[in-house]
Each structure stands twice: as C-alpha cells, then as structure tokens.
Amino acid sequence: MSDVDMPYFKRILQSVNFKNTVWQISYFEESDKIRFQQQFKKLGIKADMICYAKIENIDECNRLIHCNKQQNLFN
C-alpha cells in the first residue's frame, strides 16, 4: 500500500462504516507492515481495528477476528 492506493481506500471508506469495520491486512515483510500502519493512520483508521497477519499467519488472523465473511462493498 502506497500513496497511489490512497484514492482507492478513500473510496472504500466512503462505502463502509469504517469506524466499526475490522480490517484484515496481510503483509510479507515487517517493513510492509510499518508502511501499512502509516497509511492507515493517515486514513484515520484506528490501530485497534486492524488485524495484521504475516502471510504465513493469515489463518490465525481469520480465527482471531472472525473475518470469514467479506462484505460486498459496492452494492
């Protein structure tokens, strides 16, 4: 996620109640996670509403926050 992705995420934020949405973010390297944290902070998403999972741990993140269902954002 970089600055070029921000318009896309801003559009998503307009489509969901992001203050009550738990975000599941996967990453490969620790530097990716740090960059994501910075970008989500810019968007105003609280850190406690984000579950970060290193790619090999994505199933654990699913269990922790019950993200087995995805919202349909644009209907």
48-67 pLDDT per residue, tens:
889 888 877 666 666 665 55
Does residue 22 sit within a domain?
A: yes
Does residue 74 sit within a domain?
A: no
Ordered DSSP codes for 27-47: ESSHHHHHHHHHHHHHHT--G
* Distance in angstroms (rounded) separating the CA atoms of residues 16 and 71: 9
Does residue 51 sit within a domain?
A: yes
* Distance in angstroms (rounded) separating the CA atoms of residues 59 and 36: 19
Give the residue carrying structure tokens 């105003």: 44
Does residue 70 sit within a domain?
A: no
Ordered DSSP codes for 48-64: GGEEEEEGGGHHHHHHH
Are the beta carbons of 36 and 27 closer than 8 angstroms?
yes
For the chain, what is the domain count? 1
Does residue 73 sit within a domain?
A: no
Does residue 10 sit within a domain?
A: yes
Global pTM value = 0.66
For the cut 80, the answer to whether the pLDDT of residue 15 exceeds it is yes
Does residue 75 sit within a domain?
A: no
For the cut 60, the answer to whether the pLDDT of residue 70 exceeds it is no
User: What is the average per-residue pLDDT within 19-39?
Assistant: 89
Three-state DSSP class for 25? Answer: strand
User: What is the average per-residue pLDDT within 24-31?
Assistant: 88
Does residue 12 sit within a domain?
A: yes
For the cut 70, the answer to whether the pLDDT of residue 71 exceeds it is no
Range of 11's domain? 3-65
